[in-house]
Structures are given as C-alpha cells and as structure tokens.
Amino acid sequence: MSDVPAALPQQTETRARPSLRELVAATEIDLRLFGMVVALVAIVLGFGLATGGRYLEPANLITLSVQAAAVAIIATGMVLIIVSRNIDLSVGSIVGVVAMSYALLMTEYLPRILGFENPFTWIIALALGLAIGGFIGGLQGFIIAYVGVPSFVVTLGGLLILRGLVWVMSSGASVSGLDPTFQLLGGGPEGSLGGTASWIVGAALCAGIVWLIVYNRRQRRKFGFPLRPAWAEVLLAGAGIGVTLLLVKIANDYLWPAPLAERYARENGITVPPGGLRIESGIPYPLLLVLVVTLLMAFIATRRRFGRYVFAIGGNPEAAELAGINTRLTIMKTYILLGVLCGLSAAIAAARLNGSTLDVGVGYELYVIAAAVIGGTSFAGGIGTIPGAVLGALVMQSLAYGVSFMGFSSPVQNMIAGIVLIVAVGFDSWNRRRAG
C-alpha cells in the first residue's frame, strides 16, 4: 500500500472540491445496483416505521428472505437467458416437476432400493433432481437453439406440458414426508448454520471482500490502469464488512423458538435454564445457497468465457456469430444452467413444504422474470447483472411480506407488485436515457 499517496494527487488535482456525483463515480460503484440497495433499505425501513419496528425483528427479516430464496436462485439464471434475448416461461413448471420428483424419489423409489433412513438418500435424490432439471432445460434449449423454434413458444409449451406432467407423476396426489436431512435445505432454525458457523462464514466473506479489493488494486497497477482513490477503497471495504457483519448479527439474533429449543433439550438431555434455552439460529441454509449461487453465477457471467459470450450474443447476435462464437451451443448451455438452478430451487421449495403438491412453482415464471427485470436486466438484450436480479427478488418479497404483514389482502399485494415492477423499470429506462 506504499503507493497510495502517489495515486491521490492524480485524482484530486483537477478540482479542489469535487461534486457528490464525482465522488460516487470515484468509488466506481454500479449506480443502478446501488440504487436497488437503497430502494431495498428504504422499503424495509419504511415497513419498519409503519409497523412500529416489528417488521424489523430478525424473525420477520429472516422469514421473508427465505421466502425469496427459491425465486432469487432461478432469477440468477434467468438473467443470462434474457440477456441473450430469449425467455423461459417454463421455470415454474420445471420447479413443479423436479419438486414432485424429489418427493416421489424420497418417499417411494429410493426407499425401495436403499431402505428407509439411508444417509445417502437425500444426496442421490438431490443429484437426480438437478439432473432432471438440467435435462429438461437442455431439451428446451436444444429445440430453441438448434431447431430454431422461438423460445417464447417452446417454453410456453413447456409450461403446459410440464405442469401436466406433475399431475401425471403423482396421479394428482400431494406427497409428503421427505428425508430429514433433505428438509434442512428448507431453512428454519434447524436448517440453519448456527451462531458460530455463521460468524465464520461472515468472517470469510469479510476476508474475501478485502482480498478482492487488494487483488483488484494490484492487477490494475500491474496493467497500468487508473487506481481508485485510497479513501474509496477503504470506504468500500468498510461498507462491505459492515453490511456483512450486520446481516450475520441479524441472523444470529434470531433465536430458536421456545418449543423447538425445548424439544431439542429433551432429546439431548439438556436441562433448560430458567430464562429458556438460547440457541442462535444463524444463516439459514437456503440463504447460504442463494449466496453461493449468486457468487458463482456472477463469476460465470463476468469472468468466464461462457458468460462473456452470452453478453456478446445479447448485444449483437450476428456479430457474435461472425466473431466465431458457437451461439447455438451457448444458448443451449444457458437453458441447461437455468434448468439446474430450477432443480436447486425446487429442492428448497420441496424441503420447505416437507413434500410436494400439484401447485408447487405455479406462477414462479412471473416472479422470476420480474425479479430479473427489476434488477436491471433489459429485454433488448446484452444488459443485466446477477446481484441485481437477487436484489430484485428480495425487493419484491419484502414488499409482499410487508403488505401482508400490515394486513392488506392478497389482491392488493398483487397490485402493489405490479406497480413496483412498472415503476422500477420505468425509472431505470428514464435514468438510462438521461445518462445518454
């Protein structure tokens, strides 16, 4: 860090008092993403005020985030689909098929082969489910990319076919009673990391943030790129660490509910202290999955050849093809990836329900597409970010949860979701036009 002073004059000598806009620009923050974070915080605090602070209790914040997890995970994949100028309307039905597959595999097929309570049941079921999701996605992707049927048509067909398939698979019955380990994927206090492990994950994330900033700075210096001012680097690192630790703190402040803690104490022969047993829940597994998927997908989208190809195709399909990109294979891969993500999302949905019903996943396509679009993905192609889509999903769920929490009925919730969708995208286009 010895060269930090050298970098400073270079940035500040042009003007003595830079404007706010220039200061923000110096941090190189993605303004759209930053705007989303501000909007999310405003919504959460707004509901907090409106409910006298009760909305801000850890139980509520954790519950609504877990409720958003299934949609958020698919939305990360939907970004790549929309960026490459396609669409997938079948995601909800894929979730339905895979969720029903998990339920049937774990209640009927696998126990026949492995017996009940086999420790491998859940992992085999999960692997098969992800494979089924990937296969369905790949099949649709193949028809879109190689046969040349428009994606809207193929996936609209998929939506209908697969929803029918859910019915056929279970002959119309709900299936309940999954593997206990698998159920942990659905979150809840038992399906969470616990206090200590959550702090470890938090610390690892903080270390990651610092490493990323230092690494970026080194790389920039190595290739002679302009450096961010030191204050901006420190500010970013500080903000990143602060937010991470705050979120871990919230997750850890969510204690095991008394009945569950008592059952745990009974089963493990612990005597409950007078004030009740205090067990910190920590980060729920579904949110951990969202975190991992977001980081992985953002890495794939921005740092891998496949991701850059997707954006190139979205920006200009003809140019991408002329540049030697195998556009068909790339498109098919985006659908395989989305299918696998649907499989993961279905695991969360099925684990949450401890089973599957005929309507699991119905309507997801709308929420997923809305999340991606609210998160700044453009239907014109070539533009979109993974973290934006995850934030989009969180924005929608915090609104829906807040509106329901305040006692508005479900039709009003739908109206508000629709208005937010149009306002968010409208504001975004206006902003983009203004920026020229």
Partner 1 sequence: MSRRRFPAIFAALFVAAAACQPGGGTGGGDCVVGVSWNNYQQPRWAKADEPAIKKAIEAGGGKYIRADAQDKEDVQLQDIDSLINQGAKVLIVLAKDNKAILPAIEKAKARNIPVIGYDRLIEDPSVFYITFDNEKVGTLMAQEVMKAKPKGTYVVIKGHKADPNADFLRGGMDKAGLKDAVAKGDITIAYEEYTDGWKTENAQKNMEAALAKTNNKVDAVLSENDSMAIGVVAALDKVGLAGTVPVSGQDGDEANLNNVAKGLQLVDVWKDAFALGETAGNAAVQLCKGAKLADLSAPSTLKEHVAPEKGAKAQPFTTPNGTTVQSIVLKPTPITAANLDLPISLGWITKDKACAGAKPDVAACK
The residue behind tokens 């398939």 is 165
Q: In terms of CB distance, is 173 or 234 closer to partner 1?
A: 173
Among 172, 273, 324, 436, binds partner 1 (CB under 8 A): 172
The structure tokens listed for 260 are 């569950």
Output the smallest distance, CB 125 to partner 1, in A: 18
Residue 231, both tokens: 């204050």
Going from the C-alpha of 154 to that of each of 87, 158, 160, 378, the distances in angstroms are 10, 6, 10, 21
Residue with tokens 């859910």: 166
Partnered with residue 255 across adjacent β-strands are: 280
Q: Which helix (H) or strand (E) holds 176?
A: strand 175-176
Choose, by CB under 8 A, the member of 119, 224, 259, 324 that binds partner 1.
Answer: 259
Question: Which residue, chain included where needed, has tokens 């494979």?
Answer: 131
Distance CA 87, CA 81 (A): 6
Cβ-based nearer residue to partner 1, 135 or 264: 264
Minimum CB distance to partner 1, residue 102 (Å): 14
Binding residues with partner 1: total (CB under 8 A): 46
Backbone angles phi, psi at 355, to 5 degrees: 155, -165
In the list 189, 339, 375, 387, the residue contacting partner 1 (rule: CB under 8 A) is: 189
Residue at token pair 């859940």:
122
Establish if 355 lies at the interface with partner 1 (CB under 8 A): yes
Cα–Cα distance between 416 and 400 in angstroms, integer? 8
Instruction: Decide if residue 354 touches partner 1 (CB under 8 A).
Output: yes
What string marks each residue from 356 to 395 as x (binds partner 1 by CB under 8 A) or -? -xxxx-x---------------------------------
Going through 267-328 in order, the beta strands assigned E by DSSP cover none
Q: Which is nearer to partner 1, 95 or 205 (CB)?
A: 95
- Does position 349 interact with partner 1 (CB under 8 A)? The reply is yes
Interacting positions 190-219 with partner 1 (CB under 8 A): 190-191
CA angle 76, 82, 83 (to 5 degrees): 90
Q: Which of 4, 8, 59, 139 binds partner 1 (CB under 8 A)?
A: 59
Please pick, from the candidates 353, 374, 390, 396, the single residue that binds partner 1 as defined by CB under 8 A.
353
Q: Provide the binding-site residues for partner 1, judged by CB under 8 A.
A: 54, 57, 59-60, 63, 67, 167, 171-177, 186-191, 256-264, 349, 352-355, 357-360, 362, 401, 404-405, 409-411, 414
